[in-house]
Chains A and B, each alone.
Chain A
Amino acid sequence: MSDRKLAVVTGASSGIGYELARFAVEDHYDLLICADEPEIEHAAEKLRRLGGTVQTIQVDLATREGTDAFWAAIGDQHIDMFCANAGRALGTAFHEQEWESIRRLIMLNMVQTTTLLHRVGLRMQAQGRGRILVTGSIGGFVAGPYDAVYNATKAFLDSLCYALQDEWKDGPVTLTCLMPGPTDTPIFTRPENLLADSPIAKSDNLGDVTQTARAGYDAMMAGKKGVVPGVMNKLIAMFAGVVPQSILAEMHRRGAKPE
């Protein structure tokens, strides 16, 4: 089993993270997956039925203790693939949100991701190879009223990815940024994300989760810098540089403001 390869996926209990884990199993990677909910075990069961060797850990990556426990679970294993996917959203107006919810969102989407990118990046550079996929968002190009902190955290991740790609361009590690548009995942329905009452959550036009994850996975395997799945999303990403942010913010407001 010495030629086995390990893929590490955060936020793998559902949505894009689960799909990424599934593709890794199909590509004969062993898995280490985590999420902050017991459903991670159900996900692992499904992945094992597909033939995968799956380690799981249930941790809250919004805490430093959780991040450290996750890193301890990886131990000194060789990491061939890392999908930094764990993230949450937080709807409603900024001033209506509880500070603790905002703080946890920042810790999960930004601090944890940055910390693990640093640790995994160092390890992969030492290993002499590795592939990383970060789940950013096209939300990072657009000011996001009624999900304001979320979009800003994704702007952080998108920016960080492009900077690190440049820093690492002559090295053995690839880093790919997946920038999905609104995708049909539990992000809109989890009660704590406070988006269930928004028009976007009820939209019939959400991106297909499998196609979205597939685009990210394939881009990672090809060593591409970034991928925006879907024609409409590509258009938005393109216009984000041309259309004033005030207009983009107004568009976002219409989708995200609770009804």
Chain B
Amino acid sequence: MTGAKLAVITGASSGIGLELARCAVADGCEIIICAEGSDIHDVGEQLAGSGSTVKAVQADLGTPEGVGTLFNAIGGRRVDYMMANAGRGRGDAFLDQSEADFDEVLRVNVIGTTDLLHRTVRLMRTQGSGRILITGSLAGWIPGSYHAVYNATKAYVDLLSLAIRNELKDTDISVTCLMPGATDTMFFDRAEMLDTPVGNDPDKDDPAMVAKEGYAAMLEGASGVTTGFMNKVQSLVSGLIPDSVLAAMHRKMAKPDGSAENV
């Protein structure tokens, strides 16, 4: 496999991250995958089963040590593709959350992602080229009543991605922002949002389809991609409808309906 491109995918134990890892393997890449839980090693073995070179790294990217662990695993090698996908959600009303709840969302989605991007852009500048895919969200363009901090972190990620892309426009480094809408992943369970209309919606997008579109957009060096038909419609209207109306729409999707046993 010498000459294979190296792809690094964070948050790769399930959902969009796992599907991005599958895309990279199918594309002939050697991959380093990272996630917080120990199941990343099982995922690594599974992906290596197809004959690819896979390194699995267990690290909490919401900490500087975790980001350091991932970069130690990269070990100064050339990174062709960096897919910064790790992220967390947290449902419920802001004032019903604990500080630890929203702190975790901020640590992983904002501080960890920014740290990873900062190191990656510096590395790719010394390499002279590379491609970055950032999992933002359509949610970044819509104030997230009952998912307020999460949506706001994605507003941060979406805008940071576009700004860094512009800064790097005269280089061979591309930055692509993948902006999925509601996708059928572990996300809604982990965010404790199974008792919400959006969590229960059976029409969420398939993560494999979302990842495929994101991966292709990254290879093209496109600025951003919103996936799914309904998401493209939402993305289109989000600049035209006042934020207060969008927030009220989001309330209808995300407000807990009281059906969860632990509330």
- Give me the interface of A with B, judged by CB distance under 8 Å: 93-95, 97, 99, 102-103, 106, 110-111, 114-115, 117-118, 121-122, 125, 140, 142-149, 151-153, 155-167, 225-226, 240-242, 245-246, 249-250, 252-253
* Sample (26) of A-B pairs whose CB atoms are under 8 Å apart: A95-B122, A102-B118, A103-B115, A106-B110, A118-B97, A122-B95, A142-B159, A143-B166, A147-B163, A148-B160, A151-B160, A152-B156, A155-B152, A155-B156, A156-B155, A159-B155, A162-B246, A163-B148, A164-B94, A164-B148, A166-B145, A167-B93, A167-B146, A225-B244, A242-B239, A249-B163
> B146 contacts which chain A residues (CB < 8 A)?
163, 167
Stretch at the interface among B24-32, B49-57, B206-214, B247-255: B247-255
**CB-contact partner of B152 in A115, A160, A252, under 8 A:** A160
Chain A, Cβ-Cβ closest to B143: A162
Number of A-B contacts defined by CB within 8 Å: 161
Given contacts A103-B115, A148-B163, A252-B163, 4 further A-B contacts (CB under 8 A): A93-B167, A160-B149, A162-B143, A163-B151
Chain A neighbourhood of B95, CB < 8 A:
118, 121-122, 125, 167
Contact A163 B152 (CB under 8 A): yes
A151 to B8, alpha carbons, bound, how many Å?
Answer: 27
User: Judging by beta carbons under 8 Å apart, are A149 and B94 in contact?
Assistant: no
Give the residues in chain A near B239, CB-CB below 8 Å: 240-242
Q: Chain B 184-204 against A: per-residue CB contact (8 Å), 1 yes, 0 no?
A: 000000000000000000000
Distance A159 CA – B137 CA, assembled complex (angstroms): 13
Q: A95-B121, A167-B94, A249-B165 are in contact. Are A152 and B160 (CB under 8 A)?
A: yes
What is the distance, in angstroms, from A117's C-beta to the closest C-beta of chain B?
8
Measured CB to CB, the closest approach of chain B to A209, in angstroms, equals 25
In the assembled complex, B174 has its CB within 8 A of some CB on chain A: no
Q: Is B240 an interface residue (CB 8 A)?
A: yes
Q: Number of B residues whose C-beta is below 8 Å from A?
A: 53
**CB-nearest residue of chain A to B123:** A95
Which residues of chain B from 236 to 263 have any CB-CB distance to chain A below 8 Å in the complex? 238-240, 243-244, 246-248, 250-251
